[in-house]
Amino acid sequence: MVDLIGSVFILAGAVFLFSAGLGLLRMPDAYTRIQAGTKASTLGNMLVLIGLAFYHPNWTFQLILVVYFVLVTNPVSSHALSRAAWLIRTPMASTTMTDALIDEEERGAGEKEA
Amino acid sequence: MTTGLPVSTILLITGFCLSLIGLWGMLTQRNILRIIIGFAVIDTGLHIVMVATGYITGGTAPIIDSALSKADAARRAIDPIPSALVVTAIVIGLSVTAVMLSFAIRLYAAKKTLSIDAFTESKW
Amino acid sequence: MMRRVFALLIVVLFAVVFWRIVGGYQELQALRPLAEHYVVQGPIELGAPNIVTGILITYRGFDTLGEVAVLFMVAASVGLLLKEDSTTAESADQDRPRREAGEIVRTGTQVLLPMILTFGAYVIVNGHLSAGGGFQGGAIVASGVMLMLLARPGATLNVALLSVVESFAGVIYVFIGILGLVLAGGFLDARFLPRGQFGAFFSAGAIPLISALLGVKVGAELSVILDRFRS
């Protein structure tokens, strides 16, 4: 019975990881691809590890440590990637409506000049 | 936990499929960085194949601790030699990737484009 | 179009070859004679619970020496290929101040960097007791260094010091090999230090020492390579 719950978690994690890969292929520009890749794959990772904890209950503490580590590093690294992509003016998809970072940059440049 | 196919067959199929995907990517892509990624994927696939050839049915890792005693080791440990060779192979793969990437940087600095269709001088 | 068909044909031919290999493969039921000798005699002769590290450092120690040489060569080639000569570097590029890293990256580094470096050191020195070893731990330390380079773009890595450290580590490794020749069975034999109690920290002859040296060497090497890629 406990094995079944663990298998369901692992299956859900696998579905999320697959959708991360699918999003990486089908998204229109770099920023949406980074977002699809990070969010879905972090969640998929965490679900697979939680499902593993059901199979081996005495590994729970180490698995929680690994989940914490993944949760801290994955978003930080994708933030660094997308910020670098924005700074070299990677083109955005044509359906983008707002660019929140440009206003902040202009404000910062205005303050420096004034 | 029983699996349908023997474990080493699953691992062999996975490794070979990864190598084929990398080979396809290396042959059809035009961007230099994607070709390098294809190379790295071929490398990884073949490492998986090499480790999988050392698997013994019902075996466990060749490290002697609470799960595997010294007396049991000869019966239940898997083959440690391919694992040791693959450690070396991973480092060599990393070195080759580093040299390829620095080549890519120099090529980009020379022609300002990352597509290999721009480098046709050596074809006759 | 023709190129795609040709590529598809090559991939299909390889797939046929691989399918024949997988079809004819019988899973091993017992260890081969050489592997059995390593698995049974390894813990007794070397005193190291981790058999794979024992193989890498003593039984196949010469391959590890070759790998150390390959790493040296790669650091030299990358340095040669990415060297900035006076015609291509513009001084205006270097005068422009480097952009500060984002706040998230800087804060994340403060949390993560001690954890990564501690984990890397643990993996290096624990090579003979559980899974780990010099190469693995050295790569972890180098990834921590890369995080530091990302978070503080203006920080300069002391490349000269790292190169000296790396060369010294390589020289001491060969020196330990020669010590093995003089004091124990042969070149790179790690049995000249006492075997110690099985599973204790200071045990297994000179294997922890060699592990630590390899880890230091690989970490310094990869950090130098990363620094060259940065500039």
pLDDT tens digits for range C48-104:
788 888 888 888 888 888 888 888 889 888 888 888 765 555 444 554 556 777 788
Closest Cα in chain B, distance from residue C191 (Å): 19
With CA atoms as reference, the chain B residue closest to C38 would be B80
pLDDT tops 80 at residue C196: no
| ipTM for the whole complex | 0.82
Q: How far apart are the first and last CA of chain A?
A: 68
Q: How far is Cα C82 from Cα C74, in angstroms, rounded to an integer?
A: 12
Averaged pLDDT, C171-189? 78
Confidence of residue A47 (pLDDT cuts 50, 70, 90): very high
Q: How far apart are the first and last CA of chain C?
A: 40
Please list every residue in chain A whose beta carbon sits closer than 8 Å to the beta carbon of residue C104.
75-76, 79-80
Q: Which C positions 150-169 lie with beta carbon below 8 A of chain A? A: 150
Disruptive mutation site among A70, A76, A87 for chain C (greatest number of C CBs within 10 Å): A76
Q: How far is Cα B28 from Cα B34, in angstroms, rounded to an integer?
A: 10
Partners of B60 in beta bridges: B77
Tokens representing C118? 């501690």
Burial A12-27 (b: 16+ CB within 10 A, else e): bbeebbebbeebeeeb
pLDDT tops 80 at residue A22: yes
Does B45 contact chain C (CB < 8 Å)?
no
**How high does pLDDT run on average in chain A?**
85
Confidence of residue B50 (pLDDT cuts 50, 70, 90): very high
Cβ distance of A76 and C105 shorter than 8 Å: yes
With CA atoms as reference, the chain B residue closest to C139 would be B91
pLDDT tops 50 at residue C195: yes
**A13 with A47: CB under 8 angstroms?**
yes
CB pairs under 8 A between A and C: 21
* CATH (domain of B95): 1.10.287.3510
Q: What are the residues whose beta carbons fall under 8 Å from the beta carbon of C163, sequence distance 6 or more?
A: C220, C224
pLDDT tops 50 at residue C25: yes
pLDDT at residue B123, as a whole number? 62
**C10 with B26: CB under 8 angstroms?**
no
Residue B12 lies in a domain: yes
Does C111 contact chain A (CB < 8 Å)?
yes
Q: Is B112 left (phi over 0), alpha (psi -120 to 50) or beta?
A: left
Residue B123 lies in a domain: no
Please list every residue in chain A whose beta carbon sits closer than 8 Å to the beta carbon of residue C99.
87
Q: How far is Cα B61 from Cα B77, in angstroms, rounded to an integer?
A: 6
Residue B103 lies in a domain: yes
Please list every residue in chain A whose beta carbon sits closer than 8 Å to the beta carbon of residue C130.
none
Does B65 contact chain C (CB < 8 Å)?
yes
Q: What is the DSSP letter of B85?
A: H
More confident residue, A37 or C154: A37
Helices B80-111 & C207-230, crossing angle to 10 degrees?
20
Neighbouring C-beta atoms of residue C213, cutoff 10 Å = 22
Partners of C28 in beta bridges: B56
The whole domain housing B84 covers 7-61+72-118
Q: Which A positions 75-104 lie with beta carbon below 8 A of chain C? A: 75-76, 79-80, 83, 87
Please list every residue in chain B whose beta carbon sits closer than 8 Å to the beta carbon of residue C88.
109
Residue C222: closest CA among B89, A77, B87, B98: B98
Please list every residue in chain B whose beta carbon sits closer than 8 Å to the beta carbon of residue C34.
81
Q: Name the least confident of A10-14, A55-59, A68-72, C182-186.
A: C182-186
Residue C213: closest CA among C70, C60, C57, C59: C57
Tokens representing C8? 């598809």
Q: How far is Cα A85 from Cα C99, in angstroms, rounded to an integer?
A: 14
Please list every residue in chain A whose beta carbon sits closer than 8 Å to the beta carbon of residue C108.
72-73, 76
Query: In chain C, what percentage of residues exceed pLDDT 90?
Result: 8
Residue C152: closest CA among C224, C119, C79, C103: C103
Residue B26 lies in a domain: yes
pLDDT at residue A42, as a whole number? 94
Confidence of residue C208 (pLDDT cuts 50, 70, 90): confident
Partners of B115 in beta bridges: B31
Residue C43: closest CA among C210, C202, C170, C199: C199
Give the pLDDT confidence of C118-147 residue by residue, as tens digits. Answer: 999 888 888 778 788 888 888 899 888 888
Cβ distance of C105 and A69 shorter than 8 Å: no
The structural domain count of chain B equals 1
**B107 with B32: CB under 8 angstroms?**
yes
**How high does pLDDT run on average in chain B?**
85
Does A73 contact chain C (CB < 8 Å)?
yes
Confidence of residue B109 (pLDDT cuts 50, 70, 90): confident
Q: What are the residues whose beta carbons fall under 8 Å from the beta carbon of A28, sequence distance 6 or more?
A: A93, A95
- 3-state SS, A44-106, equals HHHHHHHHHHHHCHHHHHHHHHHHHHHHHHHHHHHHHHHHHHHHCCCCCCCCCCCCHHHHHHH
Give the pLDDT confidence of C105-125 residue by residue, as tens digits. Answer: 888 888 889 989 999 988 888
pLDDT at residue C85, as a whole number? 64
Does C114 contact chain A (CB < 8 Å)?
no
Give the pLDDT confidence of B55-91 residue by residue, as tens digits. Answer: 888 777 777 777 677 777 677 788 888 888 898 899 8
Tokens 């080549």 sit on residue: B103
Tokens representing C163? 């190169």
Give the pLDDT confidence of A52-102 residue by residue, as tens digits. Answer: 999 888 889 989 999 998 998 888 888 888 888 888 888 877 777 777 777
Closest Cα in chain B, distance from residue C186 (Å): 21
Nearest CB to B91: which of C60, C78, C135?
C135
Averaged pLDDT, A11-24? 93
Residue B55 lies in a domain: yes
Residue B66 lies in a domain: no
More confident residue, A40 or C31: A40
Q: What are the residues whose beta carbons fall under 8 Å from the beta carbon of C34, sequence distance 6 or more?
A: B81
Does C112 contact chain A (CB < 8 Å)?
yes
Neighbouring C-beta atoms of residue C43, cutoff 10 Å = 20
Residue C40: closest CA among A85, A93, B74, B104: B74
Q: How far is Cα C132 from Cα C52, in angstroms, rounded to an integer?
A: 9
Q: How far is Cα C52 from Cα B83, in angstroms, rounded to an integer?
A: 7
**How high does pLDDT run on average in chain C?**
81
pLDDT at residue A107, as a whole number? 66
